[in-house]
Amino acid sequence: MRHPTEGVLRRLIDEPAGVADPDRQHVATCQQCLTALAAAREDATLVGAALTTSVRPDVDAAWQRLSTAARATAPAPVAA
C-alpha cells in the first residue's frame, strides 16, 4: 500500500473519524508514517499556540504612526 498523503495524516489529528480504515491501519504499522504523523502533530501544536496568543494592539499609537508617515511621504501641493 502507498503511504497516505500529508492531508490524510493531518485529518488523523483533526478529524480521525474521517480517515478510511485502511489508511488508519497503514499509519499504525508504518514507521515512516508514524514519524510524519508526529511531525504533523507538532506543527498542529505550534499553530494552535500561535492562534491562541492574545495580542492587545495599541490602536491610538498605530494611528499616530500611520498619520505621521502619511504626512511625511505626501507629495507637496501644486500651485494652481
**Over its length of 80 residues, how does the chain's per-residue pLDDT go in tens digits?**
799 999 999 999 999 999 999 999 999 999 999 999 999 999 999 999 988 878 888 999 999 999 999 888 877 778 87
Q: What is the DSSP letter of 52?
A: T
> How many folded domains does the chain comprise?
1
46 in a domain, yes or no?
yes
Domain hosting 46: range is 1-53
pLDDT for position 70: 85
Is 71 part of a structural domain of the chain?
A: no
3-state secondary structure at position 58: coil
The whole-number pLDDT of residue 28 equals: 95
Determine whether 12 is exposed, middle or buried from the number of CB atoms within 10 Å of its CB (0-12, 13-18, 19+): buried
- Give the list of residues 6+ apart from residue 39 with CB closer than 8 angstroms, or none: none
Confidence at residue 9, expressed as pLDDT on a 0 to 100 scale: 95
Is residue 61 one of the residues assigned to a domain? no
80 within a domain of the structure (yes/no): no
The pTM score is 0.62
- Please check whether residue 73 lies inside any domain of the structure: no
Distance CA 62, CA 42 (A): 34
**How much is the pLDDT for 12?**
95
